[in-house]
Amino acid sequence: MRVGLGYDVHRLVEGRDLILAGVKIPYEKGLLGHSDADVVLHALTDAILGAAALGDIGRHFPDTEERYKGISSVLLLEKAYALVQEKGFTLGNADICILLERPKIKNYIPEMEECIARALHCERGQISVKATTEEGLGFTGRGEGIAAKAIVLLENR
């Protein structure tokens, strides 16, 4: 068994879609980034790669490469998980926490868990997504950005 931890943060800006865990969330701002800037899937991808000692998302999908501009982070997660499977691991479970003041995303969490489960070829019960505020503190509390933390357990096949 191996454990991996991932963290990511992106700034909220106007003129971008807000994509969290592969789900488009209606909001007046979106996250700034080279890809679709899905902070949730970036943290999860880092956790999965880290658990298998494969580095991080930037090592495999650098933001300096044009082919990743605007790419869906679901595709990056799927590619990263394929690398992990090649090393003989499978997902035990993933626990994800999204840190944001707004928008409120409680109603989107089941769809987020389903999207992640599809990408990782696992049961929804292996995926936990939750959200919390930071009580107005820091950049997430001021609504300047969104952060996400993820931890995964990989099991040997």
Q: What is the mean pLDDT of each run of 10 residues along the chain (157 residues)?
A: 97 96 97 94 98 95 87 95 97 98 96 98 97 93 96 95
Say what the pTM is. 0.96
Q: How many CB atoms neighbour CB 152 within 10 A?
A: 29
Name the residue among 40, 38, 45 with its Cα closest to residue 91: 45
Interior angle at CA 102, CA 113 and CA 150, nearest 5: 40
Question: Could you tell me the CA-to-CA distances from 52 to 12, 63, 149 in Å, in that order?
Answer: 31, 22, 17
What confidence score (pLDDT) does residue 65 get? 84
Binding-site positions for a divalent metal cation read 8, 10, 42
CA distance 49 to 152: 10
Binding-site residues, please?
8-10, 34-35, 42, 56-58, 61-65, 132-135, 139, 142
Give me the pLDDT at residue 62, please. Answer: 87
What one-letter code names the amino acid at 68? Answer: Y
- The whole-angstrom separation of Cα 77 and Cα 126 is 16
Alpha-carbon separation of residue 68 from 5, 33, 64, 135 (angstroms): 23, 11, 8, 34
Question: Based on the number of CB atoms within 10 Å of its own CB, is 67 exposed (0-12), middle (13-18) or buried (19 or more)?
Answer: exposed
What local confidence, expressed as pLDDT, does residue 66 receive?
87
CA distance 124 to 148: 19
User: What pLDDT does residue 40 have?
Assistant: 98
pLDDT in the model for residue 132: 96
Range of the domain at 53: 2-156
Going by the DSSP 8-state scheme, the letter that residue 27 receives in this structure is -
**Predicted pLDDT of residue 67:** 87
How is residue 59 written in tokens? Answer: 């090592």
Predicted local confidence at residue 88, as pLDDT: 96
Side-chain-side CA neighbours of residue 116 (13 Å): 30
Residue-level pLDDT at 130: 98
Contact 43, 148 (CB under 8 A): yes
Domain count, the chain: 1
- The CATH number of residue 27's host domain is 3.30.1330.50
